[in-house]
């Protein structure tokens, strides 16, 4: 299998030799072609090596890293193997059907729970417990989204590290992120320390949105890791709106508590 990568940190031609030496230390590497001008690398390997493993090897040679992993045409099998995290084009609104179905369940469940938990609410009346509704909405959101990540935590971590600014620097953040989401979801649903839970939510999602913004500005399209590796959702402005909307809701909840 053959992969292409963007190279970061390669400023001199002597860097090319260091990068090649670092990659050749990995047993599965078969061939390496580096384009110094375009700062790209074509790496042929006998078995898939995660981006995290490659960057770990590169760090030993200097301040180098690969990004924008893409699996390309395999000349031996003539099969198109593009299953990576970048260059995903949105073909139609149907790409977002899984996300829309999940959001429908979350919003519907939030309204239902709010009605069941607050006996003072009457349908077709103007009274509504918005604070309770937001608790249920945030709680179900985090629980649902963490569930899909939990199905393949390692796969999520590898995908998340390709565009998140924290996970890109510290791989461990991608491994613990699903558990952070689950903890936040449980806290919201149980009503535990909502102010501090919202504060943590605001910080986490605000930081997460930075990585999405940077990739959108660079014109790069990635598979969003928000639903793990099970469901494929393109990383576009919709992903950014989701992060900012949740961060904004957390900010509103903190304001309502004060």
Neighbouring C-beta atoms of residue 93, cutoff 10 Å: 8
What single DSSP character describes residue 39? T
CA distance 233 to 114: 29
What sign does the CA torsion over 104, 108, 110, 111 have? positive
Q: What is the secondary structure of 183-194 as a DSSP string?
A: HHHHHHHHT-SH
Neighbouring C-beta atoms of residue 17, cutoff 10 Å: 11
Q: How confident is the model at residue 227 (pLDDT cuts 50, 70, 90)?
A: low
Mean pLDDT of 54-70: 81
Most confidently predicted of 25-34, 220-229, 242-251: 242-251
**Long-range Cβ contact pairs of 142-146 (< 8 A, separation 24 or more):** 142/181, 142/182, 142/184, 142/185, 142/188, 143/181, 143/182, 143/185, 143/186, 143/189, 144/102, 144/105, 144/106, 144/185, 145/102, 145/181, 145/226, 145/227, 146/178, 146/179, 146/181, 146/182, 146/185
Buried-exposed string 168-180: b where 16+ CB fall within 10 A, e elsewhere: beebebbbebbee
Q: What torsion, rounded to 10 degrees, do the Cα atoms 227, 140, 185, 203 define?
A: 70
Contact 189, 140 (CB under 8 A): yes
Q: Is the pLDDT of residue 224 over 70?
A: no
Q: H or E stretch including 173?
A: helix 171-190
Nearest to 84 by CA among 66, 70, 67, 68: 70
Residue 66 pairs with which residues in a beta bridge?
7
Lowest mean pLDDT among 16-20, 179-183, 212-216, 244-248: 212-216
Q: Which two tokens stand for residue 20?
A: 């090649």
Q: H or E stretch including 42?
A: strand 40-45
Q: Return the ∠ at Cα 238 (arms to 233 and 239), rounded to 5°.
A: 65
Residue bearing the bigger pLDDT, 80 or 55: 55
Q: Is the pTM of this model over 0.75?
A: no
CA distance 190 to 232: 31
Q: How confident is the model at residue 186 (pLDDT cuts 50, 70, 90)?
A: very high
CA distance 64 to 14: 12
Q: How confident is the model at residue 78 (pLDDT cuts 50, 70, 90)?
A: very low
């Amino acid at each position: 299998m053959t992969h292409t990568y963007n190279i970061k940190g390669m400023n001199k031609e002597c860097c090319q030799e260091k990068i090649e030496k670092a990659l050749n230390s990995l047993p599965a590497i078969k061939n390496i072609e580096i384009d110094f001008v375009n700062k790209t690398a074509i790496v042929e390997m006998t078995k898939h090596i995660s981006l995290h493993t490659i960057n770990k090897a590169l760090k030993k040679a200097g301040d180098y890293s690969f990004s924008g992993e893409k699996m390309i045409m395999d000349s031996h099998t003539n099969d198109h193997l593009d299953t990576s995290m970048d260059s995903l084009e949105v073909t139609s609104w149907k790409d977002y059907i899984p996300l829309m179905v999940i959001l429908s369940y979350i919003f519907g469940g939030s309204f239902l729970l709010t009605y069941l938990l607050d006996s003072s609410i009457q349908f077709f009346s103007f009274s509504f417990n918005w604070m309770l509704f937001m608790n249920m909405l945030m709680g179900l959101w985090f629980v649902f989204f963490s569930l899909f990540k939990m199905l393949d935590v390692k796969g999520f971590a590898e995908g998340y590290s390709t565009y998140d600014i924290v996970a890109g620097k510290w791989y461990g953040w991608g491994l613990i992120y699903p558990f952070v989401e689950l903890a936040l979801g449980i806290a919201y649903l149980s009503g535990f320390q909502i102010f501090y839970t919202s504060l943590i939510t605001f910080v986490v999602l605000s930081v997460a949105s930075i990585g999405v913004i940077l990739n959108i500005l660079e014109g790069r399209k990635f598979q969003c890791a928000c639903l793990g590796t099970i469901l494929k959702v393109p990383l576009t402005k919709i992903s950014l709106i989701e992060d900012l909307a949740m961060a904004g809701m957390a900010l509103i909840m903190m304001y309502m508590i004060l």
